[in-house]
Structure 1
Amino acid sequence: MKMSIDFYNKNSKEFFESTVSADMTETYIEFLKYIEPNGKLLDAGCGSGRDSLFFLGKGFSVVSIDASDEMVRLSSELTGQKTVKMKFQEMNFNDEFDGVWACASLLHVSKSEIKDVIKRIANSLKLNGIFYASFKYGEGEIVRDGRLFNSYNEESLKSLIEMQRDLKILKIWKTQDVRPDRENEYWVNVLCKKE
């Protein structure tokens, strides 16, 4: 995780510019289908702040967290509200959120720590709260360009989520990367409900 944080601190400007305008509309629609208007959301690993900004614009109350000082600074500037500097492993929320959005962020959590982080996310949700996450499509862990990537496919992601007993999977689906020149990259997405 530390090496991934260092990457974002060093490459924050390039990362911000390459992701801030990615069109996530279809995924937003899928997530918000299940969430009452004006609910409270956690943007876990908010990166550029793109998704937090979208949710704020739709009238949601949003808590944005990121572990990189530079991404905290840039996302705070973009959204006009303070992003909290926090690692996933430090989350200690309890029954607080109607939804948790973890878009392309949990993929930097190692296989050895991911179960604990999913448990923390489940704890942060209110009853019937919705959890969305996306991972690079594939299997295993690799380190690339100074970042750890923890990849899943439909089966392995299903197994991971099912270990957290109070999360019920609503949908698992595969999508193409929406960034220009990334059409050959795929993601696996999951939507769950806390029961």
Structure 2
Amino acid sequence: LDLKFEDESFDGIWANASFIHIPKNEFFKGLNESLRILKKDGVMYISLKLGNNEGIENDDRYGIANKYMSYFSKDEIEKDLIDSGFSIIQSEIEIKYDNYANHPWINIFVRK
């Protein structure tokens, strides 16, 4: 998780369903890199699946596709974001089920 960008390069980061594929023991590296490349007062959106599991899962929506998935509680992710140096702007749980979405999501906006 070494982003090849200079410090404070971006006004914003859109991390929609990306951090869910990072093992929890690597999660803070991703948050720290995001914090590093965000400009002062920069904003990041992050979405994660609600839960507490972690590991390889089969996603049959794409045939045979094994994906690494990390799930978080709302309190856990908010604490991790604050501990990394972000401030929470807005945080909500989205409960949406359809052919594609089959799990509740945590949607959070944070500021550096």
**Alignment TM-score, normalising by the size of structure 1:** 0.50
Q: Root-mean-square deviation (CA), in Å?
A: 1.6
Aligned residues: 104
Residue in 1 aligned with 2:10? 97
Using the aligned pairs only, state the percent identity. Answer: 23
Residues 176, 185 of structure 1: 8 Å contact kept: yes
CA contact (8 A) 1:101 1:132 kept: yes
Secondary structure of the residue that 2:32 maps to in structure 1? Answer: helix
Q: CA deviation at 1:91?
A: 0.5
Cα distance in 1 between the residues matched to 2:101 and 2:29: 32
**Structure 1 SS opposite 2:34:** helix
Structure 2 segments unaligned to the other structure (5+ residues): 59-65
The structure, 1 or 2, with the larger RCO (C-alpha pairs under 8 Å, 6+ apart) is: 2
Shift of 1:163: 1.6
Please list, as runs of the form range in 1=range in 2, the aligned pairs for 1:11-160 lying within 5 A after superposition.
89-93=1-5, 94-145=7-58, 146-160=66-80
Higher helix proportion:
1
CA deviation after TM superposition for structure 1 residue 183, in Å: 5.4
In the TM superposition, what whole-angstrom CA distance separates every residue of 1:28-80 from its partner, at most 9, and x where no partner exists? xxxxxxxxxxxxxxxxxxxxxxxxxxxxxxxxxxxxxxxxxxxxxxxxxxxxx
Decide which structure has greater strand share.
2
- SS at 2:20's partner residue? helix
* Structure 1: gaps of 5 or more residues: 1-88
Q: Structure 2: how far apart are the matches of 1:126 and 1:192?
A: 13
